[in-house]
Amino acid sequence: MSQHYHYPTREEFAKRLQGKPVPASLKTAALAAAVLGIAVFAYGLFTNADRAWQAVHFNWMYFAVISTAGAAFAAVQRIVTARWSRPIVRFTEGFYAFVPVAFVILLGILFFSGDHIFTWAGREAVPTAEKAAYLEPMFFRLRGVFFFGAITVLQFLFIRNSVKMDVAVLPEYGAKWAAGMRATMRAAWSGDERRELHTQHSTQGKLAVAVCIAFVVGWCFMAWDYSMSISLHFQQTMYAWIVFMTGWVNMIMLTSLLAMWWRNHLKVDDIVTIDHFWDLGKLGFAFTAFVGYISFSQYLVIWYGNMPEETHFYRLRLSGVWKTFTTLIPIFGFVLPFFGLISKAAKVYLPTFVLFAVCSLIGVYLHRYIEIYPSIYGEATSLPFGLQEIGTTIGFIGLWAFCYFQFMDAFPVMRVFMMTTPTKDEVQVPVDPRTMEPLPAHE
């Protein structure tokens, strides 16, 4: 990764970042989109409850994976003690703002959707006793509450620990509605920056490992439960990896788009530099290649195995009304971003980066739809994609954006403490925060 360590002073950061909240018109538009989505869902409950819940479910899958990937990405930056990402990682940490909302929506899906999404909950017989035991309704619900609840709590602790250092050194920053939260965070601040730096870094290290494990393990189970289980006769070992890694790629692409917006809005071209977009572009390209590899590996094994219990999954999606969407997925999700971002020029010339990032977001959106809907409708005579799906998607976009911008208005939009404290590079050599002595290499 390219490196950029020459940051402004803390006082200059305070002057440049304060007084530049998210435009009220943008938050109003996001809130209006969220209300529209809720209205469409409410209308659907009375006219076609199946479609209403299904539209919520596949959008939940799309936005929940991306949102939880944000804190997981920040956790990876802590594990590797990255310095290149300090100016941009808060843009990704803000993704967490939607995670508690996603948890509430998941509770609604688990306890109130009935068999509108999961046909095995009442319409279709489970083929084996083992699957019947695994999909037993209460066990199924508790599993979801446990895994997504664990992700929510661990990521909250990680993000709070990251944010509180910046809140301590920028006491005047942030929206009034969050003043109480910021005061609570500052209450434990000792004033000793060096000790606080190492204490925070040590705590973040432990939390980061837990966050990453919870993200991977949790999404393995949730991908099986909320996507693969809808097709009762299909199972594949790489399925979960494809689900959460496509969300990981989209998290990187969305971070890139938001970093471009923040760079322009805050006028911080000297802090968020073209080198950062080059780095993000390399990550986006690399993980696009990885997702293409595991997706094709799954397809190839099923193709040459030629077993009906596996091939039916792809045969259905490559025929009838589903064929067009299925064909567009590798084009938007792999071909365009892979070959588009293969050169350095496409990464550092922002208009092309925007184009290929948006292509990736669209490709994975179609992926989530095709994962779920064909398993429910089978060989449909018409494509079930209309007002309900589009309106719900607009609602999710608005709700996600509103949560994100509220978070970014409430707390410092950059990791100012880690960029301005005189001892910032001491974290490259771990120390015991109690004694401030370097730790032995094995620890």
Q: Model-level pTM?
A: 0.94
pLDDT band at 189 (very low <50, low <70, confident <90, very high): confident
pLDDT band at 421 (very low <50, low <70, confident <90, very high): confident
Question: Quick check: 374 and 312 in contact, CB under 8 A?
Answer: no
Q: How many CB atoms lie within 10 A of CB 341?
A: 28
Higher pLDDT, 104 or 194: 104
Both structure tokens of 207: 């939390």
What is the mean pLDDT of the segment spanning 218-240? 93
Does 440 map to a domain?
no
| pLDDT for res 125 | 80
DSSP SS3 for 431: strand
Rg (CA), the chain: 23
Q: Over the range 126-154, which residues count as b (16 or more CB within 10 Å of their CB) and which as e?
A: beeeeeeeebeeeebbebbeebbbbbbeb
**CB-based contacts of 224, cutoff 8 Å, min separation 6:** 239, 240
| Rounded CA separation 149/142 (Å) | 10
Share of residues in the chain with pLDDT > 90 (%): 73
- 124-181: pLDDT as tens digits: 788 889 999 999 999 999 999 999 999 999 999 999 999 998 998 888 888 888 889 9
| pLDDT for res 202 | 85
- DSSP category for residue 75: H
**CB-based contacts of 107, cutoff 8 Å, min separation 6:** 145
Dihedral, 325, 328, 334, 340 alpha carbons, nearest 10? -150
| pLDDT for res 442 | 43
- 86-99: pLDDT as tens digits: 999 999 999 999 99
Does 328 map to a domain?
yes
The burial of 12, by beta-carbon neighbours within 10 Å (0-12 exposed, 13-18 middle, 19 or more buried), is given as exposed
| Rounded CA separation 253/155 (Å) | 21
pLDDT band at 384 (very low <50, low <70, confident <90, very high): very high
Domain carrying residue 68: 23-420
What is the mean pLDDT of the segment spanning 257-270? 94
Poorest-confidence range of 80-84, 216-220, 383-387?
80-84
The yes-or-no verdict on residue 4 having pLDDT over 80 is no
The yes-or-no verdict on residue 440 having pLDDT over 70 is no
**Residue 438, φ and ψ in degrees, nearest 5:** -60, 140
| Rounded CA separation 253/413 (Å) | 19
Does 283 map to a domain?
yes
DSSP SS3 for 170: coil
Per-residue 3-state assignment (H helix, E strand, C coil) for 261-283: HHHHHHCCCCCCCHHHHHHHHHH
| Rounded CA separation 394/40 (Å) | 10
- DSSP category for residue 227: T
Q: Tell me the pLDDT of the chain averaged across its residues.
A: 91
Does 344 map to a domain?
yes
Does 386 map to a domain?
yes
The yes-or-no verdict on residue 6 having pLDDT over 80 is no
pLDDT band at 438 (very low <50, low <70, confident <90, very high): low
Share of residues in the chain with pLDDT > 70 (%): 95
- 62-82: pLDDT as tens digits: 999 999 999 999 999 999 989
Q: How far is CA 345 from the centre of its chain?
A: 27
Q: E strand or H helix at 174, and its extent? A: none
Does 370 map to a domain?
yes
- 303-342: pLDDT as tens digits: 999 998 889 999 999 999 999 999 999 999 999 999 999 9
| Rounded CA separation 27/115 (Å) | 35
* Domains of the chain: total: 1
The yes-or-no verdict on residue 226 having pLDDT over 90 is yes
| pLDDT for res 344 | 93
Cα 283 to Cα 189, 340, 350, 357, 365: the distances in Å are: 35, 13, 15, 12, 20
**CB-based contacts of 374, cutoff 8 Å, min separation 6:** 316, 317, 322, 380
Both structure tokens of 188: 């434990």
